[in-house]
Amino acid sequence: MDKKSYSVRNWRHYNKALVQRGNINFWISKECLEQWQSFERTGKKGRPEKYSNIAIKTGLIVKSLFNLTFRAVEGFLSGLFKMLGVGLQAPNYTTICKRQKDIDIKLPKTKYTGSGLNILIDSTGLKIYGEGEWKVRRYSWDRRRLWRKLHLAVNDKSHTVEAFELTELGKQDCEGMTMLIDKIGAPINSCIGDGAYDRYSCYEHADRLDFELIVPPSINAVPSDELVQNSKLKIISEGAIKQRDNAINKMREHGKKNWKIQSGYHRRSLVETAMFRFKTLFGGKLFSRKFANQQVEASIKCQILNTMTELGMPNSVAIN
């Protein structure tokens, strides 16, 4: 089968959205400048905070958006305020770095319209430090490399990130799924993932929250009635076992290719596209060294990704 060609039908609108991504006035608005100073009093000992959380958050957004260091963020904001003549001071780079872990950033929830969300899930690795892939492949590694795993839950209609989770590299995808689903504050109609989520724990979670889990069973998967008596299945809900058995039986009857078409499994490619966009915009590394800071860094990047998505996405249509 020949590969289809696609054409973008809303290029004018999408082109404006791409231009707006780099508009500094869009990221640092007038409302942000009005709330730059902190007037909050915590009652704790010591000097009160000079800069609000919005100011620190803005500095972190600029850092991730334009791939700057903390020192460069201070210089960038200082130069910007001087040109604007607003009479504000930029936070010191050490202030931004120290307060990063205290910034609480939550992704905006999708407004519930009555029909459940269709969620796509996947995970990817983000390097913290270590040698490059080319050097390791050519000469092997000399120093230890450290990675984190980013789990994403993407809305298949809006393409926005509904939830994210940053974990240690050893955390299994099936464990990440339950954490993602619990963070979504709206009813879910279906959840699509790859074969890594073919676990009874995932089906159990789907049965408990009453949504359909669309996951390709493993090659050697067999229905529960063909298994030798297994005590482990006794503690699994009947609904979870039934969901997996249905997927296995349909794949046997129609074949894997037809099962993917009938179940809508191919929509899962949208979450891989989201992963590609994330790494294209921000790279495959995390620059923070402490885990709490890494979580804030990941949340900032997911928020930027959502903002860019809401500005406009291409409407591609197959032309052959």
Q: What is the pLDDT of residues 40-58, one digit of tens each?
A: 766 677 677 889 999 999 9
What confidence tens digit (pLDDT) does each residue in 248-265 have? Answer: 999 988 888 999 999 999
Q: If residue 185 lies in a helix (H) or strand (E), which one and from where to where? A: none
93, 105 Cβ separation under 8 angstroms: no
CA distance 83 to 213: 53
Higher-confidence residue of 221 and 16: namely: 16
Lowest mean pLDDT segment, chosen from 3-7, 43-47, 130-134, 239-243:
43-47
At 316, is the secondary structure helix, strand, or coil?
A: strand
Position 269 scores a pLDDT of: 93
Position 231 scores a pLDDT of: 59
Q: What tokens were used for 320?
A: 């052959």
Amino acid letter at 306? Answer: N
What confidence tens digit (pLDDT) does each residue in 147-156 have? Answer: 899 999 999 9
Q: What is the CATH number of domain 117-273?
A: 3.30.420
CA distance 27 to 64: 12
- Parse the chain into domains and list their residue ranges: 6-104, 117-273
Q: What tokens were used for 185?
A: 């504050």
Position 1 scores a pLDDT of: 53
Region label for 176, one of left (φ > 0), alpha (ψ between -120 and 50) or beta (otherwise): alpha
Reported as a pLDDT band with limits 50, 70 and 90, residue 73 is very high
Higher-confidence residue of 81 and 234: namely: 81
CA distance 296 to 106: 10
Residue 230 has pLDDT above 70, yes or no: no
51: DSSP letter = B
Q: What tokens were used for 59?
A: 């500095």
Q: What tokens were used for 278?
A: 């994330």
Dihedral of CA 77/310/313/120: which sign?
positive
Position 132 scores a pLDDT of: 73
What confidence tens digit (pLDDT) does each residue in 180-202 have? Answer: 999 997 889 999 999 999 998 99
Reported as a pLDDT band with limits 50, 70 and 90, residue 141 is confident
Reported as a pLDDT band with limits 50, 70 and 90, residue 110 is low
Burial 77-91 (b: 16+ CB within 10 A, else e): beeebeeeeeebebb
Residue 268 has pLDDT above 90, yes or no: yes
Position 43 scores a pLDDT of: 65
Position 234 scores a pLDDT of: 66
Higher-confidence residue of 233 and 313: namely: 313
Lowest mean pLDDT segment, chosen from 20-34, 98-112, 282-296:
98-112
The end-to-end CA distance of the chain, in Å, is 12
160, 310 Cβ separation under 8 angstroms: yes
270, 159 Cβ separation under 8 angstroms: yes
Amino acid letter at 87? Answer: G
With vertex at residue 185, the alpha carbon angle to CA 179 and CA 190, rounded to the nearest 5 degrees, is: 75
Average pLDDT over residues 17-46: 83
| Residue 237: partners with Cβ closer than 8 Å, 6 or more residues away | 204, 207, 208
CA distance 281 to 279: 5
